[in-house]
Structure 1
């Protein structure tokens, strides 16, 4: 039996922000980052509100003390509605504040609205949040329906000014989401359809959005792709790629999309058992081959050729986006990476995303992947 649900209302279009008038008379707690607060982006939201309080003490890899500060301000303001505007950090922070605010201080929220300003995490339609415990060098996924946004507002105008490097990182995160969702042990037909559509959108529009941020069609399609990817992995979870990315990102401080892009070809090779001219995990390889056929002019039913084609296409896209292929290209030394090898392997295997990886991962496998991306 499969239980598939999409409980978030999605509002799309140039006038999507006007839907905020539905909460105009409520006390709205806005969670965002300093850049959004300073560049006038938040004013596009507050113009529809009468009573609001802005919490902008948000940083990447948000530590617990920031979440605690936010909860205290929510209580003081007597918030009725939460609106998160920003990238994954802001939306994940709002999710954590909502969850722990209710758990620790019995703070109840009438509505939770997410407004993404990057096209990558899909966090606006998922019940996932990632919490960082800095002193332990850990990123811990929080997964519960209690943090699922009630409404997601997709306004393309909010992503037109995203810088090229962030466009690339977030776009590769979208690609990683659907590839992992498609081969997840919890894969289902509905998510499959979303993944097949999204992978085609990424290969058609990501490079265009990266090279010309004012390409409105490319921005619209990538924003939609990000949301659809979130819908897919919200019902399937992810895999080892994200498990390692969470663990390595927390210790090596590599941006999430960038570490995903470095890992992706090697994790695909590992999951399919690619080596010595063959694949040992045939069913997984067949799934990867099916995705490759969604984006390639070269169609094949041969699992090995399909896997090799998918890896080749990903590497070509990564190069077009001027993204590093290894951690050394990113600027990290082998010594620094290997000093964290054991901790990364342990954390990756314990990560909730790794549970649904199509191949049972072990410490030896994770260490081999890390060495391959040095």
Structure 2
């Protein structure tokens, strides 16, 4: 028996932030980073909070938030005692706010405050998932946390907040969306419900990501990519992910390359690997290629067409096709290749890959991209 559960309320559109105006007599802690404050982006949120509420900002979130970062946030929340927690920003702020709430509740330092997520990038889909990724800086490891208590109560999708995202981040985060959708689609836990979400996310990314990358003022494209990110998040929250994320988490922890960029490098190779090793994955990729209108998409030709579509989009986004183009060298990865290969198998997202990989499989996939 499988359970399908959609427990996050989603508010969407250019007036979605007005939902914050419904709060009365709340204690609101906004978890964000200094850029959101210094750039004035936080004003979008603060302007909607009426005077009956008290609010404070914890703005010390860093890229790839660490355990120490989370502990500092818990201390802040324990002191302020919020009834509402708003995670505002990109993936790091969102992951941190979720982990801060979970740790605070676990330690009995804060009550179970309502968690509201407002993303300012279109990539993680974390506003609708029970996932969070936290970094252990000492061990250079990224830990994917999976817990129902990480599930936000509310997600607010306002396309105005992603209008100023730079092209390179638009590309990286958009490729992350595509990876989420494709991995959910061939996951061993996929269902017809997650399939529908993943298929629509793939369609929107192929139709709108290049437009959003080339012209940030194209609000139709911005909005559709923002929604694609959420749809892909809903898909993988039901079906989980796969080997691409398992490897990306380990490489990101060791070599500190942007997560979406790592996925962009890996994704065609992962699709090829899964298509070669799993008949089910081959059939699923071919079906998806057909649904995207790619001609002659049967069997291995369908997989090849899908890979070509991914690499074509990646090229249009000026993204690297291998790790050398991404700025790494063989010498960078050599000391870590064994650890990356072993730890990728232990990552919880790898468990639902359509083919259970070996250490040698991972090593080949990674080293072939240098």
TM-score with structure 1 length normalisation? Answer: 0.96
Aligned length: 367
Residue 6 of structure 2 is matched in structure 1 by 6
CA distance in 1, matches of 2:201, 2:296: 18
Give 3-state SS (helix, strand or coil) of 2:117's partner: strand
CA distance in 1, matches of 2:274, 2:118: 34
Deviation at 1:35, TM superposition (A): 0.9
Give 3-state SS (helix, strand or coil) of 1:131's partner: strand
Quick check: 1:67 aligned with 2:63? Answer: no
1:371 aligned to 349, 367, 370, which one? 367
Deviation at 1:106, TM superposition (A): 3.7
Residue 136 of structure 2 is matched in structure 1 by 133
Give 3-state SS (helix, strand or coil) of 1:327's partner: coil
| 8 Å Cα contact 1:30-1:82 kept in structure 2 | yes
- Deviations for 1:183-232, whole angstroms, at most 9, x for unmatched residues? 00000000101111111110000000000000000001001100010000
Deviation at 1:255, TM superposition (A): 0.1
| 8 Å Cα contact 2:28-2:84 kept in structure 1 | yes
CA distance in 1, matches of 2:224, 2:362: 34
Unaligned runs of 5+ in 2: none
Residue 316 of structure 1 is matched in structure 2 by 312
- Deviations for 1:70-121, whole angstroms, at most 9, x for unmatched residues? 1101011111110011111101000000000011134113311000100000
Residue 214 of structure 1 is matched in structure 2 by 217
| 8 Å Cα contact 2:278-2:354 kept in structure 1 | no
Residue 288 of structure 2 is matched in structure 1 by 291
1:154 aligned to 154, 157, 168, which one? 157
CA distance in 1, matches of 2:120, 2:187: 28
Residue 276 of structure 1 is matched in structure 2 by none
CA distance in 2, matches of 1:283, 1:75: 49
CA distance in 2, matches of 1:65, 1:114: 21
TM-score with structure 2 length normalisation? Answer: 0.97
Deviation at 1:299, TM superposition (A): 3.9
| 8 Å Cα contact 1:127-1:144 kept in structure 2 | yes
Quick check: 1:349 aligned with 2:352? Answer: no
The residue correspondences of 1:31-110 to structure 2 (distance < 5 A) are 31-49=31-49, 50-110=53-113
Deviation at 1:48, TM superposition (A): 2.4
